[in-house]
């Protein structure tokens, strides 16, 4: 089994980051490494994370100020890609308690069995939304339905959930191909952008595992603004019209 690096995105997650890290420690995965990307938190997120340094192979990378989710994804993925061998596994997840750490083991297993990219999914049997605000749920359901129709990535139903695994070579190749344009979106749509750009590179094998998205566990204030996010989705779709109009799916 190749090593796993878990990249945790965190902003003001002092109340939950310890629980997330304890959950990962409880998986007892040999060689597990954890990178917490603290996006300029103004609480004790980084300090709580560092307190696990004697229990986990852990590094904390801090932005000097809040740069947003897109830059946090980029920091974490670039950091993990530099430290990983091509056959290693890179997993991304949120630090707010909404992503079940148990999912990490199932995502990694799919990569070990031959998949290149594996998404945690609320739309597979056993997955779902729990405690999710209605307005955000409607946006999420609509966005994912449209993306399945528009982008049509095989075996992918959940495009927006942050919890996802990659064979490290996929990220390394994507960074080499796209360079500074790897992530061009500014907000939450950046997670979709990563998936779509990877799908254009090669005939990668995609997969999904079910996950219960437990929003009721979240204690920090969400940085997602529904209408702002919707506008960014529209811009992203428009920017891809020419590519898909040409039949390059």
For the whole model, what pTM was predicted?
Answer: 0.90
State yes or no: pLDDT of 246 exceeds 50.
Answer: no
Residue 78 pLDDT grade (very low, low, confident, very high; cuts 50, 70, 90) = very high
Nearest to 108 by CA among 95, 117, 96: 117
State yes or no: pLDDT of 227 exceeds 80.
Answer: no
Residue 249 pLDDT grade (very low, low, confident, very high; cuts 50, 70, 90) = very low
Provide the β-strand partners of residue 91.
Answer: 6, 165
Its sign, for the CA torsion 167, 32, 77, 149, is positive
3-state secondary structure of 189: coil
Provide the β-strand partners of residue 190.
Answer: none
Lowest-pLDDT range, 105-109, 136-140, 164-168, 170-174? 136-140
């Amino acid at each position: 089994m190749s090593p796993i690096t878990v990249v945790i995105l965190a902003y003001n997650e002092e109340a939950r980051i310890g629980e997330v890290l304890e959950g990962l420690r409880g998986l007892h995965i040999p060689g597990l490494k954890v990178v917490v990307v603290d996006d300029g938190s103004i609480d004790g997120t980084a300090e709580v994370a560092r307190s696990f340094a004697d229990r986990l192979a852990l590094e904390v990378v801090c932005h000097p100020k809040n740069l947003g989710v897109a830059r946090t994804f980029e920091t974490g993925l670039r950091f993990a890609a530099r430290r990983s061998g091509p056959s290693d596994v890179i997993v991304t997840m949120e630090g707010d308690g909404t992503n079940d750490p148990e999912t990490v083991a199932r995502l990694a297993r799919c990569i070990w069995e031959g998949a290149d990219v594996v998404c945690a999914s609320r739309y597979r049997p056993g997955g779902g939304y729990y405690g999710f605000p209605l307005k955000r749920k409607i946006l999420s359901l609509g966005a994912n339905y449209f993306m399945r129709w528009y982008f049509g990535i095989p075996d992918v139903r959940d495009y927006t959930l942050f919890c996802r695994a990659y064979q490290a070579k996929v990220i390394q190749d994507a960074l080499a191909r796209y360079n500074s344009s790897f992530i061009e979106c500014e907000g939450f749509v950046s997670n979709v952008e990563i998936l779509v750009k990877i799908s254009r590179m090669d005939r990668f094998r995609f997969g999904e595992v079910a996950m219960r998205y437990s929003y009721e566990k979240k204690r920090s204030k969400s940085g997602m603004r529904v209408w702002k996010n919707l506008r960014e989705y529209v811009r992203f779709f428009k920017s891809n019209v020419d590519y898909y109009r040409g039949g390059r799916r």
